């Protein structure tokens, strides 16, 4: 797993946050008592869940200590943040008696599962962690076949960089229909869909600035300083060709895949 820079990640907070709110909006939980955000990042979006569900205890979990350190500025009486791995999530470990005894009412996971090896294998455990009638909602990026990622992967195979980057897994996400099938097989009622956002970015090398905060981090962190400079220079040039600058900015098409599962009561 890469290390994370909350400040860099939040550079595009408004545009990165839109899928989170559209995901949460499709969760029809009424007065849940326990809500968990797996992969909560810097916590700004997690904090909004206390307003969405004013009776709930909300717990944010992220594997990045840097992200949790940033998130804790938002902590309060009903909002806690903890370093943890979603693969090991257990309602009994979050200090919520209701969740420990009955299961979690709502689990949210926004743009996180794509970082987990064989991520579909964790879905049964997440559904099992819900109480009867509970909700699981997640979103993953589906843009791995866009130039931002195909060029990154191709450059990583270059002989200059392959010793450091050649083994990085692209982790192409399946279509929404696959998650619908997986979650339906677990007995859930499922709402699954895909959306392509056209993010309008400002500034020089805007697509690089976006991707270097997320998908490119494993590549950039794998390289020693001297090779990283060459890699960044080449990657920026490729991105400029793939994403031309217009008078109104640079357009970054970004496909995202959503699934909301309702566990039977």
Average pLDDT for residues 212-216, to the nearest whole number?
Answer: 87
Q: Where are the beta strands (DSSP E) in the chain?
A: 34-38, 57-62, 79-83, 104-110, 130-141, 189-201, 245-246, 249-262
| Nearest alpha-carbon partner for 107 in 170, 32, 175, 164 | 32
The predicted-structure confidence for 149-173, as pLDDT tens digits, reads as follows 999 999 999 999 999 998 888 889 9
Looking from the CA of 105 toward its CB, the CA atoms found within 13 Å total 19
The predicted-structure confidence for 121-148, as pLDDT tens digits, reads as follows 999 999 999 999 999 999 999 999 999 9
- Structure token digits, residue 199: 């993010």
Task: Report the pLDDT value the prediction gives residue 10, as an integer from 0 to 100.
Answer: 58
Give the sign of the dihedral formed by CA 168, CA 173, CA 178, CA 182: positive
- Structure token digits, residue 148: 């931002």
The mean-pLDDT minimum among 4-13, 129-138, 247-256 falls in 4-13
Main-chain dihedrals φ then ψ at residue 62, nearest 5 degrees: -150, 145
Q: What is the pTM of this model?
A: 0.92
How much helix, strand and coil, in percent to the nearest 5, is found in the chain? 45, 25, 30
The whole-angstrom distance between residue 19's C-alpha and the CA centroid of its chain comes to 10
5: pLDDT strictly greater than 70: no
Domain 6-262 coded CATH 1.10.3720.10:
no
Task: Report the pLDDT value the prediction gives residue 2, as an integer from 0 to 100.
Answer: 57
| Nearest alpha-carbon partner for 29 in 135, 107, 104 | 135
Average pLDDT for residues 51-75, to the nearest whole number?
Answer: 95
Asked if 146 contacts 216 with a C-beta cutoff of 8 angstroms, the reply is: no
Main-chain dihedrals φ then ψ at residue 261, nearest 5 degrees: -120, 135
Cite the DSSP H helix spans in 37-157.
Answer: 44-52, 65-71, 97-102, 123-128, 147-156
How do the domains of the chain map onto residue ranges?
6-262
Which one has a higher pLDDT value, 39 or 171? 39
6: pLDDT strictly greater than 70: no
- Structure token digits, residue 210: 């976006």
Give the whole-angstrom CA distance, residue 26 versus residue 45.
16
DSSP summary character for residue 27: -
């Amino acid at each position: 797993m890469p290390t994370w820079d909350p400040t860099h990640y939040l550079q595009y907070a408004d545009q990165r946050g839109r899928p989170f709110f559209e995901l949460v909006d499709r969760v029809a939980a009424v007065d849940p008592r326990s809500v968990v955000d797996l992969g909560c990042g810097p916590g700004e979006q997690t904090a909004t869940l206390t307003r969405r569900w004013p009776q709930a205890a909300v717990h944010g979990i992220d594997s990045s200590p840097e992200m949790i350190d940033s998130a804790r500025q938002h902590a309060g009486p009903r909002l806690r943040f903890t370093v943890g791995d979603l693969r090991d999530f257990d309602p009994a470990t979050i200090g919520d008696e209701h969740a420990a005894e009955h299961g979690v009412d709502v689990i949210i996971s926004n743009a996180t599962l794509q970082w987990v090896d064989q991520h579909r294998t964790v879905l049964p455990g997440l559904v099992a962690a819900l109480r009867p009638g509970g909700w699981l909602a997640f979103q993953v990026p589906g843009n791995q076949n866009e130039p931002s990622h195909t060029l990154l992967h191709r450059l990583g195979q270059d002989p200059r960089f392959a010793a450091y980057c050649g083994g990085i897994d692209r982790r192409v996400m399946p279509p929404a229909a696959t998650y619908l099938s997986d979650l339906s097989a677990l007995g859930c009622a499922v709402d699954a869909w895909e959306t392509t956002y056209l993010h309008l970015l400002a500034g020089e090398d805007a697509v690089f600035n976006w991707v270097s905060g997320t998908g490119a981090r494993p590549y950039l962190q794998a390289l020693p300083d001297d090779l990283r400079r060459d890699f960044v220079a080449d990657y920026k040039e490729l991105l400029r060709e793939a994403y031309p600058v217009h008078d109104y900015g640079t357009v970054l098409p970004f496909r995202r895949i959503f699934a909301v599962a309702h566990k039977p009561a």
